[in-house]
């Protein structure tokens, strides 16, 4: 027979899970409703942003590569 401490732990875990599920569900519902309401605005914004996507992705890729080289040289002792 499980002790009352075990039941309290299960109840706390269950309530935490339910709280997480309700919060996540609320976020998903809000995103879905906003996407449906502002579909035209989002499409127009994306059309204006598309020409810059390639340039921004190149900058992010160069930044990530620079960080990896910096990390290998100064922290991971890759070359020493």
Residue 10 shares a structural domain with residue 20: yes
Choose between 2 and 76: higher pLDDT.
76
The stretch 3-31 carries a mean pLDDT of: 86
Residue 80 shares a structural domain with residue 43: yes
Residue 70 shares a structural domain with residue 33: no
Burial 8-30 (b: 16+ CB within 10 A, else e): eeeeeeeeeeeeeeeeeeeeeee
Segments forming the whole domain that contains residue 55: 39-80
Residue 21 shares a structural domain with residue 52: no
Tell me what pLDDT residue 52 has.
93
Tell me what pLDDT residue 61 has.
97
- pTM summary value: 0.45
What one-character-per-residue DSSP string does 16-75 give? HHHHHHHHHHHHHHHHHHHHHHTHHHHHHHHHHHHHHHHHHHHHHHHHHHHHHHHHHHHT
| Tally of domains within the chain | 2
Weakest-pLDDT range from 5-9, 20-24, 33-37 = 5-9
Residue 9 shares a structural domain with residue 46: no
Q: Render pLDDT for 42-67 as a digit per residue (tens, 0 to 9).
A: 889 889 999 899 999 999 999 999 99
Residue 4 shares a structural domain with residue 30: yes
């Amino acid at each position: 027979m499980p002790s009352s401490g075990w039941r309290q732990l299960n109840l706390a875990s269950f309530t935490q899970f339910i709280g997480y599920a309700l919060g996540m569900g609320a976020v998903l519902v809000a995103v879905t409703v906003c996407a449906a309401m502002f579909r035209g605005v989002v499409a127009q914004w994306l059309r204006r942003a598309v020409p810059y996507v390639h340039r921004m992705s190149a900058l992010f890729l160069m930044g990530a590569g620079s960080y990896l080289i910096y990390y290998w040289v100064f922290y991971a002792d890759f070359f020493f």
